[in-house]
Amino acid sequence: MSELDAYRSLYIAESRENHETIVKNLLILENGPDESAIAEIFRSAHSLKGMSASMGFEGMERLCHAMEDVFQEIRSGKLDVSPDLMDVLLSGSDSIESMLDDIEDGRQGISDDLEETVKQLKNLTSGNTAGQSASVASAGTENLQDIYSQHLKDEPDNNTQYGGIRYRITVQLQPDCHSKNIRGMIVLQNLEELGHIESVSPSRGVIEDGEFDGSFVVEITSDAGEEALQVTSSISDVSSVLIETVAQPVVPQPSGIQKQPPVQERDGGTEKAERTDKSDKGREIKNIRVDITRLDQMMNLVEDLVINRGRITQIARKYQIKELDETLNMVGRSVSDLQNLMMNIRMIPLNHIFNRFPRTVRDVTHKEGKEVEFVIEGGETELDRSVMDGLNDPLLHLIRNGIDHGIESPEIRLEHGKTAKGLLKLSARRDRDNVIITIEDDGAGISPEKVLAKALKNGLISPEEAEGLSQEEIFDMLFLPGFSTADKITDISGRGVGLDVVKNAIDSLKGTIKVESVKNKGTKFELLLPPTMAIVNVMMVRINGKRCAIPVNNVVEVASLTQERIHHIGTHETVLLREELLHLDRLDDMFGKSEKSEILVVLSHQNKKRSIAVDLIEGQQEVVIKPLSTIVGMCRGVSGVTIPGDGEVVPVLDVNSIIKET
């Protein structure tokens, strides 16, 4: 593996963070002047440019350099923020994301529209800044000192010394930094863009080879100011940056650039003691980056431990070995603690996907000519990574749908006595063992009459069936394949790929979705999701001698099943339990007909109930659920399989699909 490949994953991770920071602050800047947002954008673009240059990704370096020049013009007040300017900058951020995807796939990251984007950015700048940007960008990966020397030759008076204040910058890397050479060269690259480096100690060659103790001193002449020089502290693995003023603005000298004597190695005395103190007081490492595949492997091992813990428990009960019981209790506690710890490690704040949507809202509203205030709440709520992975597309669809079909144009809103700007709110909260995500708007709402008329027109229901439908049941038709109430087809939604895609995605995550709407008031979609799909509590039951598992969250109660409680309505069996009539299902098609079902298990899903008849309840157990699709494909009524301690493969009932058949 080449050195470039070795550091590629680290570069990608840090670059995506910088890209996200740029996009987030661009959207803040679009709403009005914000100095902190400009500073954040400038720092992130500068860091991304420096890392790209060190890794040899010339295209990314050129693009970031062009964007940085624009931000510098904005910061200096020479360029005003306008909608056209934001379109160009956001287009540049899209190119960055595309190039990062390309680099992650092992290529050099040259976007198809790179040249056009860089050209547009350069056209926004003026004067000396634009000229310098062009010279540096066209130089690619040439030595920046050579570029600077050529710049001096082009000046009318090439005897003028580089102006600015002279600083001494002491950089300390983290003690366990595994890429000191890369980090050191990124720091130098960033500083070279802000001034003239007079000396480096130890030498540049030593830093490039990584043969130093993690600390180095740079003397630089710059007019950028200490705040700009602090950009070096935003680079990963930099523990501390100490900036000292050595001399005030340099008076131009007739002899050209004066090179100062190299800073000597600090082998003893007070100076070395000061640097040692700074090293000793470096920040303790609080976070580390771990490849997600390693977490998946650890989770698989924890799942194996849970399964084998159940097996050992059964053996201990069978042979009644006291010593084994005592040891098993200690091992069981350790496995439980490890399991809880592993689950917490895999939990990720929803902000990881929520933060992507402001850009989507901005683009769609501009295209639709609408005004929308987008509010995000509860982004700190955590979900398991396995659930999070499948959540982005459904939420994206619902957000786009809310803007396109929900929120009206400013003119129509004003006619209905509303504010011109609509409200779209994305929120998340934890409710006992589940996470609830809502997407709601204050738009036109959904007309039940219109939905029902479309269902009748498409032959989805008969006129007789339509008479007894509740509003909730009518809204459920929105999730049928291809169903749409859109009056026109747009490129935002309404192209035959409707809410059924969202429903299927949420079902695959073992979640549920429901919709509430009031005409001319707004619509709310509510997603209920389990925090994790890996390890759950189930009730083990037997039907016709065959074992199956039911998620405990879906079990309302257990009661005795007597013949007096059973009633027949048409061809269906029902049970009257506490003045409530419940559909009774014996699951004969799944497990065969049983002659001794004497126990009633009441199931609940999304406020709907149904009961099933079982022969025996073996008790509750914590199990690992494996997806069924990886083994035999999809099977109606079964969400997955589990393997308890005795090694038997047991199906897990999909209560959602069972209740839907009611």
Q: From residue 504, give the alpha-carbon distance in Å to each of 166, 472, 524, 579, 606.
A: 63, 18, 18, 34, 16
Query: Residue 633, by phi and psi: left (phi above 0), alpha (psi -120 to 50) or beta?
Result: left
Known catalytic membership, residue 68: yes
> Two tokens at 304?
């194996």
Which of 401, 583, 605, 656 is catalytic? The answer is 401
Could you tell me the two tokens for 137? Answer: 């960008």
Per-state percent for the chain, helix, strand, coil, to nearest 5: 45, 25, 30
Q: What is the DSSP letter of 632?
A: T
Q: How far apart are CA 565 and CA 379, in angstroms?
A: 48
Catalytic residue among 46, 65, 196, 605: 46
Helices (H), 544-596: 588-591
Cα–Cα distance list, 116 to 128, 155, 418 (Å) = 21, 30, 42
- 14 tagged catalytic: no
Report yes or no: 434 and 528 within 8 Å, Cβ to Cβ.
yes
* Residue whose pair of structure tokens reads 């008479």 in the numeric block: 467
Region for 490 from its dihedrals, namely left if φ exceeds 0, alpha if ψ lies in -120 to 50, beta otherwise? beta
Give one DSSP letter per residue of 332-385, joined into a string.
HHHHHHHHHHHHHHHEEETHHHHTTHHHHHHHHHHHHT--EEEEEE-TT-EEEH
What is the helix (H) or strand (E) element at residue 314, kind and residue range?
Answer: helix 292-319
187 by Cβ neighbours in 10 Å (0-12 / 13-18 / 19+) ranks as: buried
Alpha-helical runs (H) found in 439-568: 448-457, 463-467, 471-476, 499-508
Count of C-beta atoms within a 10 Å radius of residue 222 = 21
Nearest 5 degrees, angle CA 203-CA 205-CA 210? 100
Is position 504 annotated as part of the catalytic site?
no
Instruction: Out of 68, 192, 193, 382, pick the active-site residue.
Output: 68
Q: Which residues are catalytic?
A: 46, 68, 401
